[in-house]
């Protein structure tokens, strides 16, 4: 099985792509299994097939998870810096 790499889309691009569908720009759909399946090594297409959700939803969820992780790390760094000061 060959591993194909897809260009990473920003959350804004994913939201723009998803704009014509059900969710508003401020909403990220929630599916509890997506993060677990992603951590187990499944790609977005496999996750979409297993969860029976559109691939764009899966990509949007994963982008939202990554954005939340980055935001949490940034907040942790800020808090640590404030404690040192």
**pLDDT at res. 64:** 80
Q: In this structure, are residues 18 and 60 in contact, taking their beta carbons and an 8 Å threshold?
A: yes
> Where does the pLDDT of residue 81 fall: very low under 50, low under 70, confident under 90, or very high at 90 and above?
confident
Q: N- to C-terminal Cα distance for the chain? A: 52
Model confidence pLDDT, tens digit, residues 24-70: 545 556 677 888 898 899 999 999 999 888 888 888 888 888 888 88
Q: Phi first, then psi: what are they for 49, rounded to 5°? A: -65, -45
pLDDT at 55: 86
């Amino acid at each position: 099985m060959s591993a194909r790499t897809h260009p990473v889309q920003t959350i804004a691009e994913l939201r723009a792509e998803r704009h014509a569908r059900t969710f508003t720009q401020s909403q990220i759909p929630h599916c509890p299994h997506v993060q677990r399946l992603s951590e187990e090594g499944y790609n977005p297409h496999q996750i979409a097939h297993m969860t029976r959700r559109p691939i764009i939803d899966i990509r949007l969820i994963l982008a939202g998870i990554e954005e939340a992780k980055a935001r949490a790390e940034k907040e942790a760094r800020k808090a640590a810096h404030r404690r040192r000061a």
